[in-house]
Structure 1
Amino acid sequence: MKKQELIHLHGLLAQVQNHYEAESGTEVDHDEYEELGVKPTSIHKSKTDHKAAVFAIADGIASEMADEAKEPVSAAAD
């Protein structure tokens, strides 16, 4: 994946996080993401930095959503 594509994905994931937080009323744990100090607008940062940020923000969103999904989904059809 090219650096420009990673930056674009990074920006999209940041929007997903903001939307999820606004809709659910909970805050996604983004300590690891914040420690990196890489924002989607940090175009001067390296491709590797953006890749790490994408993985950190995606992991934070996925973890929060997994915690929310406590009820098992029925395997039977309606």
Structure 2
Amino acid sequence: MRKKESIHVHALLAEVTRQLIEDEAMSVEGRAAYDLLGTRPSSIHESKENHRKAIMVLCNAIESSLEETHTDGQKQSAHR
């Protein structure tokens, strides 16, 4: 993947993460590892590798959030 494409994917995942936090499907703490990186989609001067790391951290945060949501949904439906 080229750097420009990496930045685009990074921006999309950052937006998904923002939406999950806004919808309360993810806590702000779930994004803590990403915040520590300091690389944002607008950081075009950062290396492609830094954007790749940010993509991986965001993917992991989104995956964890979705797993928690799925697990909570299963628990709620089991109680009905």
TM range (shorter): 0.7 to 0.9
Q: Deviations over 1:26-65 (max 9, x none)?
A: 4251121111110000000000000000000111011011
Output the TM-score relative to the length of structure 1.
0.83
Output the TM-score relative to the length of structure 2.
0.81
Equivalent residue, structure 1, for 2:55: 54
**Alignment root-mean-square deviation, CA:** 1.6
Distance in 1 between residues matched to 2:26 and 2:16, nearest whole Å: 13
Is 2:23 aligned against 1:23? yes
Distance in 2 between residues matched to 1:51 and 1:25, nearest whole Å: 24
Count of residue pairs brought into register by the alignment? 72
% identity of equivalent residues: 33
- Return structure 1 stretches of 4+ with deviation > 3 angstroms: none
Bigger fraction of residues in helix = 2
Q: 1:41 to 1:49 in 2, by over 3 A?
A: same
Segments of 5+ residues of structure 1 without an aligned counterpart are: 73-78
Distance in 2 between residues matched to 1:59 and 1:43, nearest whole Å: 22
Segments of 5+ residues of structure 2 without an aligned counterpart are: 76-80
Distance in 1 between residues matched to 2:16 and 2:34, nearest whole Å: 14
